[in-house]
A and B are shown apart, each in its own frame.
Chain A
Amino acid sequence: MTVARFWRKIPQRYNLIGTKCETCGRHFFPPRTFCPDCRREGKIVDHKFSGKGTIVTYTVIQTAPDQFASHGPYVLAIIKLDEGPQMTTQIICDPKEAKIGMKVKSVFRRIATDGESGIIHYGTKFVPVE
């Protein structure tokens, strides 16, 4: 991923800044700039998510893509944020601990590195709530 492509999504990736439609109140993460319900009547504004959610489904990736190969097996999940939308993320926990329905919260972490001399991609992962 090029620097510009990564850089323009830094608020979203670092701080879970999504969007919200002020017309119907629906929240979007990943952010959308067009509300599928209200369409042209929709009014989209930025919204910072609380970072709290629940695991909807998960897997443990044993065969990782090259840029994630150094991570070893990692937990990949779809979580439902408390505000409503669902997103795909990594969960930092012992793979044996992950469970559907588990409560999680967001943390700032390194996601991947573009080779040895490429940029480091930071972003949001989730950890179990104690």
Chain B
Amino acid sequence: MRDVAVIGIGCTKFGEHWNRSFRDIFVEAGALALEDAQLSGEKIDAMYVGNMSAGRFVEQEHIGALIADYAGMATRHIPSTRVEAACASGGLAFRQAVIAVASGMEDIVVAAGVEKMTDVEPGASTDALTGAADREWEGFVGATFPGLYAMIAQDYMHKYHMTREQLAQVAVKNHYNGARNPIAQFPQEITIDTVLKSAMVAEPLRLFDCSPITDGAAAVIVAPLDRAREFTDTPIKVLATAQASDTIALHDRRDISTMDATVAAGQRAFKMAKLTHKDINMVEVHDCFSIAEICAIEDLGFCKKGTAGKFTADGETALGGSIPVNTSGGLKSCGHPVGATGIKQVYEIVQQLRGTAGKRQVDNAKIGMTQNVGGTGATVAVHILGRV
């Protein structure tokens, strides 16, 4: 297997892009990544695009071809593949691009993610997202995504006695980080009171425990490490790529408040990189709901099961803490265009490792990690990236 490096990154602002289409935002992200790598489009050998549900959100399928076409690649006939694993689509697209280069099959590959969620009414987007769970045996009886994660939170709080304030601190911390990120959808700082006084969505989760509906696209370009310096002075090496699956329905899990797929993907990634959690300087985790970040940092091994609430309240996961989590603002503050999120996580970690993360820069960042979840944990992708 060849070593693989990220040589270029690009991302649109996350938010509600009423005046721009699915293809507009994708082209912007791709162009930014190419410009960042100082690469012309003719050099690209293949593309992988993470997208959850363009069919439901913009009534468009066949996304691989559409995107290659509007990225100006139609006459070059490059292979372009859509990758779908609900909210983990982006993480899997990145993994496919890394595998393509590592195998020697391709050299310069684009991994992208895109979702345009605001072209349908909120009810329709919520319904589309429910397809990430078990439609026949969860969605059918009235389960919503906030509802499923609320049941994780209820189980967790019952077992480990985390307080509601500790859980709220996840959102407070992520909004603090997001307020320092120019692409964030909601770059406003909030307080614990903001969370606790927001509308109840599904007990115990309130509006400010939930990530928003977002339009956005992100793209990164990967290449063989030994060619990376042709394109950039700061190549970022992919130290590990891992993926795991679990039961589609939450009710079939071994333990409701442990994501075994996160545990498995995390262990595989650490093994591949020959590292432990102590070597990681910052991590982007999938905080689609505040409780998801609590489970993620435990399941990846950054703190013991049942202690993440206190760990968060003590500031360990904040900028300047022992393991900064979601310096981008996470899905909560930065936004969650589902198919793009996994790529945006890589985009953030690459900026941290290059030392270009501005006011949210982690000091002396050498190794970073991403964890991207599909559904309630039926798919998890974990990546570790490092400075060369």
Report A's interface with B, CB cutoff 8 A: 1, 9, 13, 30, 56-66, 68, 71, 74, 76-78, 85-90, 95, 100, 111-112, 121, 123, 125
Contact = CB atoms under 8 A, between A and B. Distances in A.
Contacts, number: 98
A76 B205 CA distance: 14
Contact of A59 (B134, B137, B151): B151
A13 B202 CA distance: 25
B201 interface: yes
Given A58-B151, A87-B251, A121-B140, 10 more contacts: A1-B140, A30-B137, A57-B151, A57-B158, A63-B201, A71-B142, A74-B142, A86-B251, A100-B154, A111-B141
| In the complex, the 3 A-B pairs of residues with the closest C-beta atoms, listed nearest first | A59-B150, A57-B155, A86-B251
B254 to A, nearest CB: 11
Interface in B133-163: 134, 136-138, 140-144, 146-147, 150-155, 158
Interface string B108-149: 000000000000000100110010001011101111101100
A76 B147 contact: yes
13 contacts: A9-B136, A57-B256, A59-B202, A59-B205, A62-B201, A62-B203, A66-B123, A74-B142, A76-B142, A88-B251, A100-B154, A111-B142, A121-B140
Contacts of B143: 76, 88
Scoring A58, A66, A74, A88 by chain B CB atoms within 10 A of each residue's CB, the highest score goes to A88
B201 to A, nearest CB: 5
Contacts of A125: 141
A89 B251 CA distance: 10
A61 B141 contact: no
Scoring A58, A59, A61 by chain B CB atoms within 10 A of each residue's CB, the highest score goes to A59
A88 B135 CA distance: 11
B250 interface: yes
A66 B252 CA distance: 26
Contact of B142 (A58, A68, A78, A95): A68
Contacts of A68: 142
A112 B142 contact: yes
A65 B154 contact: no
B272 interface: no
A61 B201 CA distance: 6
A111 B140 contact: yes
A78 to B, nearest CB: 5
A100 B137 contact: no
Contacts of B146: 61, 63
Nearest to A112: B142
B151 A78 contact: yes
B140 A78 contact: no
Contacts of B144: 61, 63-65
B66 interface: no
B256 A62 contact: no
